[in-house]
Amino acid sequence: MTCEALMRLQEGNRRFVASLADTAPAVSQTRRLALAEEQQPFAIVLGCSDSRVPAELVFGQGFGDLFVIRVAGNIVAPSQVGSVEFAATRFGTRLVVVLGHTGCGAITATIEELRQPTLHQSAGLRAIVERIRPAVEPLLATPLREQASTLVAHAVRANIRAAVDHLRHGSAILERLVEHDRLLIVGAEYCLRTGVVDFFDGAP
Mean pLDDT for the stretch of residues 169-188: 97
Q: Is-above-0.95 flag for pTM?
A: no
Which candidate, 173, 172, 174, places its Cα nearest to that of 164?
174
Q: Give the containing element (helix H, strand E) for 55.
A: helix 55-58
Q: What per-residue string of b and e applies to 148-159 under the rule 16 or more CB within 10 Å gives b?
A: eeebbbbbbbbb
CA distance 59 to 23: 8
**8-43 pLDDT, tens digit each:** 999 999 999 998 655 555 667 888 888 888 999 999
Mean pLDDT, rounded, of the chain: 94
CA distance 15 to 58: 9
Which candidate, 173, 194, 150, 197, places its Cα nearest to that of 11?
197
**Hey, what domains does the chain have and what are their CATH numbers?**
2-201 (3.40.1050.10)
First-to-last CA distance in the chain? 13
Residue 23 pLDDT: 55
Residue 35 pLDDT: 85
Share of the chain above pLDDT 70, in %: 96
Which candidate, 111, 83, 110, places its Cα nearest to that of 98?
83
